[in-house]
Structure formats: structure tokens, C-alpha cells
Chain A
């Protein structure tokens, strides 16, 4: 059996440390963060492993995952960490880096489509938004089929795209926030 050498990117590590704080280096991998996380069961890697990946400079694994986009920012990890590390800040740092480098997870793409509609129409309509998203991620249709049908049957899915007044202002707000 041969051991695999992981690619290490120490520049990436320093950047995460700069954004999330140097105390991150004191992590003892106790798992309090993951065990406190309400969405931990959906995450892979867990938030604990994510911190370790960053400290080892394993950039690719740290950025290309859904964990980042599943964080609800509830801050339980940060409140409970016995070392005073802020795992939530680590997630935010990774999101920043992903954004900068154009790494998009599924949820990030959804957010992108969502903002696009807001920018041009001032509001969203569920059907066109879902359609646009499913074109890129057709596999998501299987997961959300049942819920979608239920929502349609209760008239909760708007099919028609409406535009609001003052769209220019909304557009300006969105653009300013992006900066």
C-alpha cells in the first residue's frame, strides 16, 4: 500500500488564517463544532474536517464541497469551540475565496440565479427560477419533485414573471452590495 501525498497550498492556508484569525491554528480536532452543527448530517466534509483541510493547505478539497453552502450561520460552533476558534469565520473565509476564484457549488449557483432575477425584475417567480436552475442541475429535480408537486397543487408556485416599479433602484442596491 502506498501513501498518497496531498497537494499542499500554504498560500491558501495563510489566506484562510488571515481571514478567519490565527487562533485557527490551535485547533485540536475535538469535534465540538461538528457535533453542535444543525446541518452536520448533510455535510461532507464536516466542519471539523474543513478546518483541518485548511490547516493542511488542501485547497481543492476545502473549496470544492457543499459544506460551505450548507452552513446556516447559526454560530453554535463558534460559541462552543473550547479553543476560541470561529469555525463560522472559516466558512466565510472559504466562501470569499471561492467567490474570488469562481468556484461555484450548487447552492452558490442557485443564489446567483436568484439575484439575477431580482436584479432584472425586482422580484422572483418560482417557476422560471426553478427551471433555470434545473437546466444546470437536472439531478436536483429528483430530490425536489415531490415537494414541487405539492406546492403546485396548493398554488404556491408563481408561473408568471412580474416586474415591480423602481427596478433601477433594486438593481443599484444589488450592485452596491456585490462590491
Chain B
């Protein structure tokens, strides 16, 4: 296995500190090395050509480049060696610039010794490299959008226009979501359904969209590129194609009247109904809970469309990506008992106000007191009902309610200029284009603003009485109004829970779906091929929901448009002979990529190669194709082969954050001691406890594990898993008589070079206080314990926590 080693000068960046000549002659003598050279700039064309020439001349089958960080030039050298006919994965880099010459500028001798260890580690790993072939799999060019609100509609239309086929699944009998029920919308006060209605029809008529309304997703299998989705289309008891949407013929014959969910309790509908005149599809449906089966509708229908015998139909579709646009539901105002919603008829919610203001709503646009039917002369708006409220478990701001109340107050004031309107608010949050101007407009219209939070509502002499403290002048007051409007907050739609569980989506503490990164990946889920748009991931205004729908569509398009997916060949794989089907890996996989079908099976399309399963497997049945157990153990062994300094630290750094932090310490020239020998892993969760025990057994004085900051793992929760393992490991160390402080876990973001350096300095100081490995055993046994620093002489520590 002839290996070529190339030590880069990088001008004086490396050669100015390290003795490159010495490193080259050191590398030459390492086992398996056929040729070693020092190159001025290995990444330059001349450098790359030299490597390619050697591959041909010396029949090299693997290459080690000791230069900068692999995060910088690994792709460059992979390309270079593959041009010379080598498999691109037969490359290993030793990071002797960012993590050596740049951070030990004042200790060139020790830095050169450290660089030798890093090269020895790289050569040892290189010896175990296997050629890997990126696999490409065919993908379905169809997309499932769940939720037909404004976000789902935006996503579906963009995808369909781009030529992908879309299945749009909506739980209700019509698409349009909450936006279709609103009156005018802020900040321009244009009619909501007038702008949404045409989009709804476009969805219905688009040749690339299959619309399943009154339907639900019940099962999801497969992974990115190839999901199999099953679901049910519930019976409408009306033939959708035959129904003319004339609304009144059937409904006027129906004898059953119930409260309409589309009017939030202030309007009525029949057991057979069309949700609202602009519904899409414009077809009636029968509410089976209300219907008494009298068949009068069937007799009345001029198109003969009623089908009382209709049954639910299952559907099964194959899609490459799934967009979750399941939206929100209003906070249940009755939970705030002190406000008397449900007890006092003149206490209503924002949505009831929206329906009253809506010209096609139950009051035909009149704002009346439900108790008397008279026009309300004095109206109170109470903000933050069910938002920013720890007593109901909703600490978040619902974002839209300030603007919604400002808008409704303006609409009322414009319609009835004499109405006395007061908005009781804690803070007015009008952050958005044109929003603050909208607030000013409301003030100019003569709407009153009182900074307070109403403590309770009572009914007195037929009027609504509020108690509050006007916090701007410190007076506790009672105010009487005809109507109180509770500005209810937004909560995640409880019906979406099933879909969330099917897809394995995670939730934030506020119960909305969590996105893959709170800033950088706003519409991606943790699961590959799944995207989240609109209020499913938190309260949002209409324009942002539309933007997210379009963004999710673009992401799905990027994923599927070529018709195939290229997979990084770095996934986990299972040795079926060893697997005991304990399912531990299934539970911990952040990508839900593992299933146990006797034995466990890794879906390589879904696997992202974090390696947590390999670390967790109690029988070592799972290994990684890249960063394998054997490769990492070889690095550990090489790092501890010659012990030239005390304390000697083996450090495992996660690729995304800590390794980046260590690189940044280099580019920032932050100086720290030379004691650590860094091993790159994809995630801190990859660190198998046996790696740590092996490092200590081989004579390392301490082991450092560094991951992304808690809550910021690039896979999901790998750092929590690492932390859990380290805690167990500390217990094991204590049991065998070693100081548990010899294993340390730290968190640093890729921007925290100084924190990484500081953590390392602290760990070195702690280890110095402990003394070399085994000191504590000698102390305990009066010096009788064999020296752990001698490989093979340590106590048996093979057990795995």
C-alpha cells in the first residue's frame, strides 16, 4: 500500500515555524510511505502536478497532504488525485497550519514534534482508507404539500409552474386556510379573499396539481427522493364533479342547523354545506356528525350530486419531497377564565370580529353585540390573550395580533366613526414594512391606546367591565364597553401532530415544528427531503408565509429537478451477523435513517454520517464507511505512540463547530500550548467511549471532546448524546480508579476560536494538577499499580458503558 506524503511549506506560513525538512525525512521513514516530499505550495498547479506525477510513477494508491485544514483544501486535493486515477476518498490531510504552525509560533521545536505526530496519525489513518463510490439514486419528481393554506398554496403553485407534479393534501373540505376567512388584511387593508381567491382557483385548475381536500396523510415510509405516502380521502357524501356549488338548493332543504366552524361560533350552517361562497373546490359536503339521513338534500339537488352511500377512499402516492404547511389554530380563549369568554356573550375573539367585519360573514359586515344584536358603540381590544403568557404555557409573541387589532380597529372606526375604541396593550409590535405607519394611522383615527394588561372581565348592568392598571400613570381603573375583543394568539395546529410523528419532526418548547437551523435553514426540517413553511414553524404574517412557501418550493426543486440524487458515501452500515436488534440505533438516529428489519438497516439516502449509531451500538455492529472505528483507533494509537510532552491530550473535534473553532484560532493566530493531538470526527456523538478508553490506555493523560454549542448541533442533538456518554464514562473511570476529570467535554461554535484555546489551556492546567495518567492509581495502591503509560500494561477497560 504505497503512500505518498506531501509536506507543504505554504510559503512561510508553515515553513516559518515548523522544520519542514525534518518533517519530510520523518515521514519518509513511516511504514508504508513510498515517497515523501516538501512542496512550496501544494495546492498550486505545480504542487498538484507533482502529486499526480508521483501517483503514476510510484504507483501510489493513497495520499497524505500535511498542509492547511481539510475544511479548506480537501476538495482541491480530492479532485487532484482523482484526476490521476485515484479514488477521491483515498486522501487524508494533516492539519499542520491552522492547528499547528499558526497557533504555536513561539515554540517551533515543540510544534515540529506535534506536526510529526499529526503526520503519523494521518499516515496511520490513510493506511486504512477504502475507495468509496458516490452512489446516485433515482428520485421521484413529485412533491407532497400538506396543508392548503396560503403557504401551501404558494409552494404548490411555484412547484407546479416549474414543472413538478404536486399533490396538495388539505384536511378541510376547502383550501384557503385562515386567510380565506379574514376580512381586509394589513397593512394595506385590501380584501383578503380578493387576493387569495384567484390563487385558490389556480390550484384547482393547474394541470400539475392533484388536489385532495377533506383528506389526511396517515402513513409515510421511505426517505429523501422516495417517500411512499398513504392517506385517506374522507367521504363528502356529495359527488365533487357533479356538484355545481349552487349552495342554497341542498342547504335550504336541510332541517339540521349547527354552529359553523368557519364563523367560529357566531354563525350557523346546515348539515350539508359549502364552507363559504369562494370555497375551492366549490362543492358541498355533508357533516356526518350532524346529518340525520333524511335525504331531503338529495331530493332538492338539481344536479343529482348527493351520494349518501359514498365511502372514504385510500390513496397511496410516491413523492421525492414533502412540504409541511400545516399552519396554526387559534388559542382557546376560554382557557383564560378571568376574561369570561364563553360566559359573557359580548366577549369575542379576533376571528369572530374578522367574520363580523367580513361582508359575506354571518352579520354581513355589521359589528354587533352578540347579546342584543345592536351595533357596538364602545369596543375594547385586549392584546396578548394566550401569547406572552406563561400561565398558559405560551411564552412566545404571536406576531400578528397587534397588527390585526390595529387593522380591525381602523375598519370599525371607518365604518362607524363615532365608535369609542380602546386597545389595551403591553407593547405594540409593529415591525414590518409599513407597519409603524399603520400604527400611526390608527392613532390619528382617534383610537385610544392604554398600556396595561387587563386583569379580569366582569359583566355589569349588561355591559362589559374591565379592570386594569394604566401603567403609564399608575392608576387602577375600571372601564365599561359594549364589546370586548380578545386578541387570541396562534398555536400549532393540533391535527399536525400525527404528521409530525410520522415524519419524525422535532418540536421546539413552544410546540411548533423545529427547523434545521434557526437562521441559516429557515424552511428545512431535520429530516432530509422534508421542508416546513408558514405557521407550522411559528406564527407568521401572510407575506412571510408566502415567502416561506416559495422558499420551500425552491428547496424541493433544487433537490429533485435532476431526477437523481448523489449520495455522500460516508454513511453508516450494519454488520448483519453482529446485530442483536436492540433498536438503540433506531432511537438515537437524528435522521430517522435506521430501521430494524431483522437485522438493522441503514437507509443510506437518509444517513448523513454523524456516526452516533456507531458509537452507541452495544455490540459494535455498526460502523462508518468514512471515519471508521479502525481508522480512528489507528489515529489514537499513532497520537500516543511517542509521548514527548506532558500532559498529552487526545482531542476529538466535531467537524462543524469545534474543528472550525480550532481552525479559526489558527487564522486568528491565537497562541496556545502544543499538548493536543486533534482527531476530526463528523459529530461529537461519533466518539465511541472505547476511543476514549483506548486513548487513556495508550498513555494519553487526558481526552478532550468538543462539540457544537448545546442546542446548535448540525445533526440535531448529537452533542447531548455525547454529553450523556461522557457522563457515563466518567463513572466508569471513577470505578477503575482514574480521575473522571481526565475526560472533558466542551462546546464551542465555529466562531469561538478563543473559547477553544481557553478550554484547552484550562484542561492542560487541570491535567497538570492531576499528574501523568496513572498517578491516582499509584497513590491509591501505594505505588504497586503498573504504569498505564506503557501500552498493554493498563487494567482491562474494554467494557463499554
Please give, as numbers and ranges, the residues of chain B lying within 8 Å of A35 by CB-CB distance: 452-456, 467-469, 476
Q: Is B295 an interface position by the 8 A CB rule?
A: no
Please give, as numbers and ranges, the residues of chain B lying within 8 Å of A45 by CB-CB distance: 474
Per the bound structure, the CA–CA distance linking A28 and B456 in Å amounts to 18
Q: For residues 58 through 104 of chain A, which have their beta carbon under 8 Å from a beta carbon of chain B?
A: 76, 79-84
In the complex with contacts A80-B391, A82-B388, A31-B338 CB distance below 8 A? no
Per the bound structure, the CA–CA distance linking A65 and B467 in Å amounts to 24
Contact of B391 among A28, A30, A81 (CB under 8 A): A81
Find out whether the CB atom of B390 lies under 8 angstroms from the CB atom of A30: no
Find out whether the CB atom of A29 lies under 8 angstroms from the CB atom of B391: no
CB-nearest residue of chain B relative to A76? B455
Contact of A31 among B389, B390, B453 (CB under 8 A): B453
Q: For residues 140 through 166 of chain A, which have their beta carbon under 8 Å from a beta carbon of chain B?
A: none
Find out whether the CB atom of A30 lies under 8 angstroms from the CB atom of B389: no
Contact of A30 among B338, B426, B456, B474 (CB under 8 A): B426
Find out whether the CB atom of A30 lies under 8 angstroms from the CB atom of B476: no
Q: For residues 355 through 394 of chain B, which have their beta carbon under 8 Å from a beta carbon of chain A?
A: 384, 388-391
Q: Is A48 an interface position by the 8 A CB rule?
A: yes
Q: Is A49 an interface position by the 8 A CB rule?
A: yes
CB-nearest residue of chain B relative to A44? B474
Known: A31-B469, A40-B476, A79-B391. 13 other contacts (CB 8 A): A28-B426, A29-B471, A30-B426, A31-B455, A31-B470, A35-B453, A35-B456, A36-B456, A46-B469, A82-B384, A82-B388, A82-B389, A82-B391
Q: Is A32 an interface position by the 8 A CB rule?
A: yes
Per the bound structure, the CA–CA distance linking A30 and B426 in Å amounts to 6
Q: For residues 466 through 492 of chain B, which have their beta carbon under 8 Å from a beta carbon of chain A?
A: 467-471, 474, 476
Please give, as numbers and ranges, the residues of chain A lying within 8 Å of B389 by CB-CB distance: 82
Q: Is A121 an interface position by the 8 A CB rule?
A: no
Q: For residues 385 through 443 of chain B, which have their beta carbon under 8 Å from a beta carbon of chain A?
A: 388-391, 426-427
Q: Is A178 an interface position by the 8 A CB rule?
A: no
Please give, as numbers and ranges, the residues of chain A lying within 8 Å of B426 by CB-CB distance: 28, 30
Please give, as numbers and ranges, the residues of chain B lying within 8 Å of A40 by CB-CB distance: 469, 476
Contact of B476 among A46, A81, A82, A83 (CB under 8 A): A46
Find out whether the CB atom of A82 lies under 8 angstroms from the CB atom of B456: no
Please give, as numbers and ranges, the residues of chain B lying within 8 Å of A32 by CB-CB distance: 453, 455, 469
- A: contact size bracket: 20 to 34
Find out whether the CB atom of A83 lies under 8 angstroms from the CB atom of B452: no
Please give, as numbers and ranges, the residues of chain A lying within 8 Å of B471 by CB-CB distance: 29-31, 48
Contact of B468 among A28, A29, A31, A84 (CB under 8 A): A31
Per the bound structure, the CA–CA distance linking A30 and B391 in Å amounts to 14
Please give, as numbers and ranges, the residues of chain B lying within 8 Å of A41 by CB-CB distance: 476
Q: For residues 162 through 178 of chain A, which have their beta carbon under 8 Å from a beta carbon of chain B?
A: none
Please give, as numbers and ranges, the residues of chain A lying within 8 Å of B453 by CB-CB distance: 30-32, 35, 82
Per the bound structure, the CA–CA distance linking A167 and B605 in Å amounts to 83
Per the bound structure, the CA–CA distance linking A125 and B384 in Å amounts to 51
**A51, chain B: closest CB distance, angstroms:** 12
Per the bound structure, the CA–CA distance linking A49 and B470 in Å amounts to 12
Please give, as numbers and ranges, the residues of chain A lying within 8 Å of B388 by CB-CB distance: 28, 82
Per the bound structure, the CA–CA distance linking A48 and B474 in Å amounts to 9
Find out whether the CB atom of A84 lies under 8 angstroms from the CB atom of B476: no
Find out whether the CB atom of B476 lies under 8 angstroms from the CB atom of A34: yes
Please give, as numbers and ranges, the residues of chain A lying within 8 Å of B452 by CB-CB distance: 30-31, 35
**B177, chain A: closest CB distance, angstroms:** 28
Find out whether the CB atom of B390 lies under 8 angstroms from the CB atom of A46: no
Find out whether the CB atom of B454 lies under 8 angstroms from the CB atom of A80: no
- A residues bordering B, Cβ < 8 Å? 28-32, 34-36, 40-41, 45-46, 48-49, 76, 79-84
CB<8 Å pairs between A and B, sample of 14: A30-B471, A31-B452, A31-B468, A31-B469, A34-B476, A35-B467, A35-B476, A46-B476, A48-B469, A48-B471, A49-B474, A76-B455, A82-B389, A82-B391
CB-nearest residue of chain A relative to B471? A31
Give the residue among A29, A76, A82 with the most B Cβ atoms within 10 A.
Answer: A82
Per the bound structure, the CA–CA distance linking A107 and B469 in Å amounts to 25
**A124, chain B: closest CB distance, angstroms:** 34
Please give, as numbers and ranges, the residues of chain A lying within 8 Å of B476 by CB-CB distance: 31, 34-35, 40-41, 46
Please give, as numbers and ranges, the residues of chain B lying within 8 Å of A83 by CB-CB distance: 390
**B390, chain A: closest CB distance, angstroms:** 4
Contact of B390 among A36, A49, A84 (CB under 8 A): A84
**A34, chain B: closest CB distance, angstroms:** 4
Contact of A81 among B384, B390, B456, B468 (CB under 8 A): B390
In the complex with contacts A35-B455, A36-B455, A36-B456, A82-B390 CB distance below 8 A? yes
4 nearest A-B pairs in the assembled complex, by CB-CB distance: A31-B469, A35-B455, A84-B390, A30-B453
CB-nearest residue of chain A relative to B453? A30
Please give, as numbers and ranges, the residues of chain B lying within 8 Å of A29 by CB-CB distance: 471
**B345, chain A: closest CB distance, angstroms:** 23
CB-nearest residue of chain A relative to B384? A82
CB-nearest residue of chain A relative to B470? A31
**A87, chain B: closest CB distance, angstroms:** 12
Please give, as numbers and ranges, the residues of chain B lying within 8 Å of A76 by CB-CB distance: 455
Please give, as numbers and ranges, the residues of chain A lying within 8 Å of B468 by CB-CB distance: 31, 35
CB-nearest residue of chain B relative to A23? B390
**B481, chain A: closest CB distance, angstroms:** 16
CB-nearest residue of chain A relative to B389? A82
In the complex with contacts A28-B426, A34-B476, A80-B469 CB distance below 8 A? no
Per the bound structure, the CA–CA distance linking A48 and B476 in Å amounts to 11
**A85, chain B: closest CB distance, angstroms:** 9
Find out whether the CB atom of A80 lies under 8 angstroms from the CB atom of B338: yes
Mark interface residues in B17-50 (1 if CB within 8 Å of A CB, else 0): 0000000000000000000000000000000000
Please give, as numbers and ranges, the residues of chain B lying within 8 Å of A36 by CB-CB distance: 455-456, 467
Please give, as numbers and ranges, the residues of chain B lying within 8 Å of A82 by CB-CB distance: 384, 388-391, 453
Per the bound structure, the CA–CA distance linking A24 and B527 in Å amounts to 39
Per the bound structure, the CA–CA distance linking A125 and B470 in Å amounts to 43
**B397, chain A: closest CB distance, angstroms:** 11
Per the bound structure, the CA–CA distance linking A79 and B336 in Å amounts to 11
Per the bound structure, the CA–CA distance linking A110 and B344 in Å amounts to 43
Please give, as numbers and ranges, the residues of chain A lying within 8 Å of B470 by CB-CB distance: 31
CB-nearest residue of chain B relative to A47? B469
Per the bound structure, the CA–CA distance linking A80 and B385 in Å amounts to 12
Per the bound structure, the CA–CA distance linking A82 and B452 in Å amounts to 12
Mark interface residues in B531-569 (1 if CB within 8 Å of A CB, else 0): 000000000000000000000000000000000000000
CB-nearest residue of chain A relative to B338? A80
Please give, as numbers and ranges, the residues of chain B lying within 8 Å of A46 by CB-CB distance: 469, 474, 476
Per the bound structure, the CA–CA distance linking A41 and B384 in Å amounts to 25
**B583, chain A: closest CB distance, angstroms:** 38
Per the bound structure, the CA–CA distance linking A8 and B388 in Å amounts to 30
Per the bound structure, the CA–CA distance linking A29 and B426 in Å amounts to 8
CB-nearest residue of chain B relative to A40? B476
Please give, as numbers and ranges, the residues of chain B lying within 8 Å of A80 by CB-CB distance: 338, 391, 455
CB-nearest residue of chain A relative to B469? A31
Per the bound structure, the CA–CA distance linking A158 and B474 in Å amounts to 42
Please give, as numbers and ranges, the residues of chain A lying within 8 Å of B391 by CB-CB distance: 79-82, 84
Per the bound structure, the CA–CA distance linking A60 and B468 in Å amounts to 27
**A22, chain B: closest CB distance, angstroms:** 14
CB-nearest residue of chain B relative to A45? B474
Per the bound structure, the CA–CA distance linking A8 and B468 in Å amounts to 29
CB-nearest residue of chain A relative to B388? A82
CB-nearest residue of chain B relative to A49? B474
CB-nearest residue of chain A relative to B452? A31
Please give, as numbers and ranges, the residues of chain B lying within 8 Å of A84 by CB-CB distance: 390-391
Give the residue among B389, B426, B456, B471 with the most A Cβ atoms within 10 A.
Answer: B471
Mark interface residues in B444-465 (1 if CB within 8 Å of A CB, else 0): 0000000011111000000000
Per the bound structure, the CA–CA distance linking A79 and B390 in Å amounts to 10
Please give, as numbers and ranges, the residues of chain A lying within 8 Å of B454 by CB-CB distance: 35
Contact of B469 among A28, A34, A79, A81 (CB under 8 A): A34
**A29, chain B: closest CB distance, angstroms:** 6
CB-nearest residue of chain A relative to B394? A82
Mark interface residues in B305-317 (1 if CB within 8 Å of A CB, else 0): 0000000000000
Give the residue among A30, A36, A83 with the most B Cβ atoms within 10 A.
Answer: A30
**B646, chain A: closest CB distance, angstroms:** 43
